[in-house]
Structure 1
């Protein structure tokens, strides 16, 4: 059994030992056989914290270092280690956001686990990925599914692995969502006990423990959510050649894939996903709330596809 003074958590299908407190993650209190990830706090000799520019990345095949000005320096190495060097002790929320987002996305890539950027929902025993650019409405749409009794597997980073016979499987991440205030207001959610996400005062961290699916599920399909000036909601199949671009575009921190040396691996993963699953593109009006309509559309589409494949 493993003995450590660090707190042990479980997320992304991995046992995580951390110097930093991570209240978003489920805690492991019983003995475990192995630790998959070590998160350590260390003082690093990083020279330039004067620039107010975007985060700077230094990348090779085994290690990624990135610097968030006035916040922290992060080192992610070999898919097993994350080092955090805080530069501002008042920004613990910022640090955790990058730790559970960018750091975990990079670490999953290093472990050859595909991290899609989106939300994953359980429907009829399968996981369906909702991907899209920031602001497309992925988390809001996932909330609409939760309101109907479905379960969440992931919000933000969706980990996907292959079985021995190359079938894509979605691994649960951790039971939290990040939701805008207008979504919370629409569903009548009390915000008094919720915490805003640092500089985004109108976006909140929302626990979803009661509706979180804790077991890995086969991937049932991928829905790309996009905004349009058209007033009608529409859905169409993504053609085979376009599927690879869609999956690459919505891979978390995809700009690092080539630098880490994973282009061939990513293409093979995309091929396995596309050969086993249908991909759809949904367009929704940008000027009104359509999550309920989209939920109906996705469920109907899933049922139609299931009938076709029977």
Structure 2
């Protein structure tokens, strides 16, 4: 068994995950290879590939394999014939681990998280709104990144709502990497055939729990420039629910009531802002100026009109 640490958990894994830092101690989570059920009795389906029931979830991916997540403590992987482990890890460390975090009672937002002078901010939004690209732009300007796909929020005594660091890498589209001065050909692809690459954070990874100072909801629009607007009242609560990772799985896994209480508390304690972002690269500096990270100027040119993805 390999031993790793991720989101403040010790993991014992039969699959090697070289992206993760090694760790020792009793395991909180077990990752094994073995037979998985073909379906979950009385499960509620989410799309064609995901089913959820109290205490468990099943992800079935044709040509990839099945992942059975149980009680926030066990992930069983049944790979498809001939599939490379690197392809399995793409789903294991993203969607599958997100489901496990929810089962463990964590409040998980679909957001990238970047360090600020006095804590951190979350960049939330639907897939394709530019969360990882914006985090990569801040990283290129000297800001450390806590996490890419997940924002795991915990209430820390004396500190309030805070974010637990995630894996030490970003997954960024090739055109955005080129704009930031990286050569995508020198970085590992997320999976073959996808123009998205793993950007190791190195010393640019913030590896400690930091207080959450704000949640910025990315909303692409066709306006002439970037705009930021504070949310209040019910809009905060709605934003928290809508940007919860895989919120559609909460009720079938028996987690809806506990999550609602967590979201209500967070909405009353942390500022929520809607960040309207134009869909061209030339607006990047203007977008960054609206964030409290206050980065310096990038050493790389960011003036073309490629789409921010």
TM-score bracket for this pair, using the shorter chain length:
0.7 to 0.9
TM-score, normalization by structure 2? 0.88
Cα deviation for residue 243 of structure 1 reads: 1.1
2:110 is matched with: 117
- Equivalences for residues 43-192 of structure 1 within 5 A: 43-44=35-36, 46=38, 55-164=48-157, 167-192=160-185
Equivalent of 1:250 in 230, 235, 243: 243
Cα deviation for residue 290 of structure 1 reads: 2.5
CA distance in 2, matches of 1:184, 1:248: 31
User: Is 1:16 the counterpart of 2:8 in the alignment?
Assistant: no
Cα deviation for residue 88 of structure 1 reads: 3.3
Structure 1 outlier segments of 4+, above 4 Å: none
2:197 is matched with: 204
CA distance in 2, matches of 1:144, 1:21: 30
The CA RMSD over aligned residues, in Å, is 2.1
1:35 is matched with: 27
Cα deviation for residue 193 of structure 1 reads: 2.5
Cα deviation for residue 287 of structure 1 reads: 3.6
User: Is 1:286 the counterpart of 2:279 in the alignment?
Assistant: yes
CA distance in 1, matches of 2:154, 2:293: 27
CA distance in 1, matches of 2:15, 2:140: 33
CA distance in 2, matches of 1:293, 1:18: 43
CA distance in 1, matches of 2:113, 2:136: 11
Cα deviation for residue 61 of structure 1 reads: 1.5
CA distance in 2, matches of 1:87, 1:215: 37
Cα deviation for residue 192 of structure 1 reads: 3.2
Cα deviation for residue 239 of structure 1 reads: 1.9
Is the CA contact (8 Å cut-off) linking 1:140 and 1:291 kept in structure 2? no
TM-score, normalization by structure 1? 0.87
CA distance in 2, matches of 1:91, 1:254: 30
CA distance in 1, matches of 2:254, 2:158: 24
Is the CA contact (8 Å cut-off) linking 1:167 and 1:273 kept in structure 2? no
- Relative to structure 1, the CA distance from residue 99 to residue 164 in structure 2 (aligned partners, 3 Å threshold; closer, same or farther) is same
Is the CA contact (8 Å cut-off) linking 2:225 and 2:286 kept in structure 1? no
- Which consecutive residues of structure 2, in runs of 5 or more, have no partner in the other structure? 40-45, 295-309
1:25 is matched with: 20
Is the CA contact (8 Å cut-off) linking 1:54 and 1:68 kept in structure 2? no
User: Is 1:220 the counterpart of 2:213 in the alignment?
Assistant: yes
- Relative to structure 1, the CA distance from residue 300 to residue 86 in structure 2 (aligned partners, 3 Å threshold; closer, same or farther) is closer
- Which consecutive residues of structure 1, in runs of 5 or more, have no partner in the other structure? 1-5, 48-52, 302-310
2:306 is matched with: none
Residue by residue over 1:195-217, the C-alpha shift from the partner in whole angstroms, topping out at 9 and shown as x without a partner, is: 11225532111111210011111
